[in-house]
Each structure stands twice: as C-alpha cells, then as structure tokens.
Amino acid sequence: MLYKRLISLILMLALLCGAAALAYTEGDRLVVVNCSDYVTLRTGPSKNASRSIRIPPGRDVTYLGDGGNGFAYVQYADRKGYVLTDYLAPYTEIQHTPRTQSPSGHAVYCGNHGTAKYIWDRTIVVAIYADDSTTHWDFSREADTRQRLRNRFNLGVACAWLTEQARRYHGDCGGFVWDWYEHSDLYYTATFSQDMIHNNGGRDAAQAIVGFVHENVPTKELLQRYDAENIIYNVYFNAPNDSSFRSWSTGVLNREINAEQYYPEACVLVPYGRGRENNPAVFAHEMLHAFGAYDLYETYEGSPITQAYVDYLMRNNPNDLMNHCYFSDLDIVTVEFSAIDAYYVGLTGRPAEADKWGLGLSMFERYPLN
C-alpha cells in the first residue's frame, strides 16, 4: 500500500515537474505574478546573474524557452533575459494589477497604469520649465513671462474641466493640485542637452524626461504631502510657432516607451500646435492620456481604437476631446468628454458603441486595480 502510494507520488511529482517544464511553448505570452514590487530579469539563469531590469507585477513577457535551473528565458519590451518561472503565469485577458505602495503608504505607480490611475483620486501636477538644444526660457523677457501665465491659465481651466467631467460619473472626486504659484514645490526647471521638440514624442525625449523626474522630483514626498494618489509631470518648452511640432504625452504609450519598474507619466506642452495657440483642451487632452484615454483621431500599434471608429468620428462627431482638441476655444473647453473617453479612464462600464466599432478593452478592464 505504502509502496503503491510512493509510486503514485513519484509518478505525480514526475508529471508535475514534466508539466512545469512543458507548460509553455516559445512565443507564449506570460504575465508576471506572485510579487508585490517586481521580479528581476537577469542576464543568466541564476540568482547570482546580474540584473537587467525590474519587471512590475501585471506586465506581460514573451516566453522564449526553458532557461534551466527554475528560470524561463523571456523577452520583456526590447530586452531578453531570465526570470524565475515561479513568478510567471499564463497570460489571460484580465489581469489584476496591485497598487504598489511607497513607504509612506501612498500608491506610487501601478504596473500597467503608470503614475496617474483613477481620475477621481487626487492628482498632483508638477510643472517643469525646460530648455533644450534649440529652445530657452528667459523670464526677464515679457513674452516668456506671459507665456508662462498663459500655460498656468490653460492648466487651471483644464484641471477644473477634468474634475467636472469626473464628477459627472463619480461624485466623490479629489481634484487636482496644480498651481505652482500657490505651491512652489510643484515648480522645477530643467535643461536638456538634446533636441526635445522636433521628434514629437520620441523615445529618447521621453526617456530624458523620465531620467530628470527620477533624479529631481521627490515623488513619494509630494504624494504624501498632498495626500494624493496620482502624479503627472508637465514639461513646458518655449518652442516657437512651427507646424512641425506639437504637444505630446507619454500617457498610455508608457508600456511601449519605457519598460521600467516605475515610469512617470509626462506631458510635453509647447505654446503652439498645428499652427494655433494652445488652448485648455490641449492640456486636458494630453493629461487625459495619463489616466488611460486614447487618441481618437488616429490609431497605432497598441491602441484599442479601430480605424473604422476613427473614420466614423471624423464624419459624425469630430468634437471629442481626444479627437479634435486644437480647435477648442482659447478660454474654455468647448469639446466633448464622451462616453468612450469616460470608459477608457475607468469612469464607466463599456458602452455599446465600443462593441459596435470593435474597440479593444480599457486598461481598467484588462488590468483592474485593487
């Protein structure tokens, strides 16, 4: 009896081990689980191998093969390396994303949601006035001071309007802490040696901003000081009116742009876009990306928006914030916050329109927050 049991136990163990080794095939999409902060991608299949990058829970990786020694050989963003298989599970459409707490007890980032999560929680907006290789701020010049005041006005109107939209769906809303005149700890200056303007959201520019934020902005302290859950970093450049560049944000593109453990969500704001002076709707548009909203005037790799829906909106309802913000009024936001925008920032359930046009799931449905 005992012998029989032992045999079956051995058989079972063999099956289990076999199953673990054979569970994945090359190209499988897996997700990081069983950790609260991150798992380490290493350069070899050993705990002593050097670290390549940290991967937060909820992120997905591609299985490339069995690394041996309890490790899987995987690809994460543009890096390949080894992760302990105990921290990997088969990818399913819905994955739960835990909030990662800072020592102060405040959420600092969530793997798939960046530094701005639910729009109804309180949000800090940091201002970074930045020079780069071609542009410069000089506040002894009246024009530059006026532009900074104009930015402040646009930001104030955008924050009030976003709060109003969130309250339509979610009565209890923490609002925004944004005024750097009132809160000098929200104001920074930066100098970037490269051209930050002309490639409209290029990977290098985004990473330079990430680097600046990591080194200079005390994010955890600010979140604690203002009792906030979200933080957005607005970077202002003094760019001339040139149709070759416009404002952009890292927002929902973070997963592609910056595969780091903690990634700041930033908006780059220039005074003009598409040949027009920037208005509050442009600010609201860029900031809404941080909360999970997608562009509706175009689609691109990784976007859940279909070309059919882009075409439909252009013909029938071009007045959506995420579609057409450049033509809003200079003093108030005259574009619309649609049910689609509300859905993608987690304020409402999936509207029938999303199914009708074959739109992909929102970040909050794919990766729910706890």
Is 303 an interacting residue with respect to Zn ion (CB under 5 A)? no
- Which residue, 185 or 295, is less far from Zn ion as judged by CB? 295
- Which residue, 28 or 295, is less far from Zn ion as judged by CB? 295
Task: Report, in Å, the least distance between residue 52 CB and Zn ion.
Answer: 31
Q: Report how far residue 142's alpha carbon sits from residue 158's, in angstroms, rounded to the nearest whole number.
A: 24
- Which residue, 112 or 249, is less far from Zn ion as judged by CB? 249
Residues binding Zn ion: number (CB under 5 A): 1
Is 353 an interacting residue with respect to Zn ion (CB under 5 A)? no
- Which residue, 153 or 297, is less far from Zn ion as judged by CB? 297
The region of 188-196, 202-210, 290-298, 329-337 touching Zn ion under the rule CB under 5 A is 290-298
Number of Cβ atoms within 10 Å of the Cβ of 11: 10
The region of 57-65, 120-128, 214-222, 289-297 touching Zn ion under the rule CB under 5 A is 289-297
Task: Report, in Å, the least distance between residue 224 CB and Zn ion.
Answer: 30
Instruction: Write the secondary structure of the chain as one string of H (helix), E (strand) and C (coil).
Output: CHHHHHHHHHHHHHHHHHHHHHCCCCCCEEEECCCCCCEEEECCCCCCCCEEEEECCCCEEEEEEEEECCEEEEEECCEEEEEEHHHEEECCCCCCECEEECCCCCEEEECCCECCCCCCCCEEEEEEEEECCCCCCCCCCHHHHHHHHHHHHHHHHHHHHHHHHHHHHCCCCCCEECCCCCCHHHEEEEECCCCCCCCCCCHHHHHHHHHHHHHHCCHHHHHHHCCCCEEEEEEEECCCCCCCCCCEECHHHHHHHCCCCCCCCEEEECCEECCEECCHHHHHHHHHHHCCCCCCCCCCCCCCCCHHHHHHHHHHCCCEHHHHHHHCCCCCCCCECCHHHHHHCCCCCCCHHHHHCCCCCCHHHHCCEC
The region of 62-70, 95-103, 293-301, 306-314 touching Zn ion under the rule CB under 5 A is 293-301
Q: Who contacts 125 (Cβ-Cβ below 8 Å, separation ≥6)?
A: 155, 159, 176, 177, 178, 186, 231, 232, 234, 287
The region of 182-190, 256-264, 292-300, 306-314 touching Zn ion under the rule CB under 5 A is 292-300
Q: How far is CA 87 from CA 23, 72, 78, 163, in A?
A: 14, 10, 20, 38
- Which residue, 195 or 295, is less far from Zn ion as judged by CB? 295
Task: Report, in Å, the least distance between residue 146 CB and Zn ion.
Answer: 26
Query: Which residue has its beta carbon closest to Zn ion?
Result: 295
- Which residue, 229 or 320, is less far from Zn ion as judged by CB? 320
* φ, ψ of residue 86 in degrees (nearest 5): -60, -25
Q: Report how far residue 51's alpha carbon sits from residue 69's, in angstroms, rounded to the nearest whole number.
A: 16
- Which residue, 118 or 326, is less far from Zn ion as judged by CB? 326
Site string for Zn ion, 237-276 (x = CB under 5 A): ----------------------------------------
Task: Report, in Å, the least distance between residue 249 CB and Zn ion.
Answer: 7
Task: Report, in Å, the least distance between residue 288 CB and Zn ion.
Answer: 8
Is 297 an interacting residue with respect to Zn ion (CB under 5 A)? no
Task: Report, in Å, the least distance between residue 285 CB and Zn ion.
Answer: 6
Pick from 295, 336, 353, 365: which binds Zn ion (CB under 5 A)? 295
- Which residue, 106 or 324, is less far from Zn ion as judged by CB? 324
The region of 145-153, 295-303, 336-344, 352-360 touching Zn ion under the rule CB under 5 A is 295-303
Task: Report, in Å, the least distance between residue 289 CB and Zn ion.
Answer: 6
Is 200 an interacting residue with respect to Zn ion (CB under 5 A)? no
Q: Report how far residue 241's alpha carbon sits from residue 66's, in angstroms, rounded to the nearest whole number.
A: 54
The region of 152-160, 172-180, 287-295, 360-368 touching Zn ion under the rule CB under 5 A is 287-295
Task: Report, in Å, the least distance between residue 296 CB and Zn ion.
Answer: 9
Task: Report, in Å, the least distance between residue 322 CB and Zn ion.
Answer: 6
Question: Which parts of this chain interact with Zn ion (CB under 5 A)?
Answer: 295
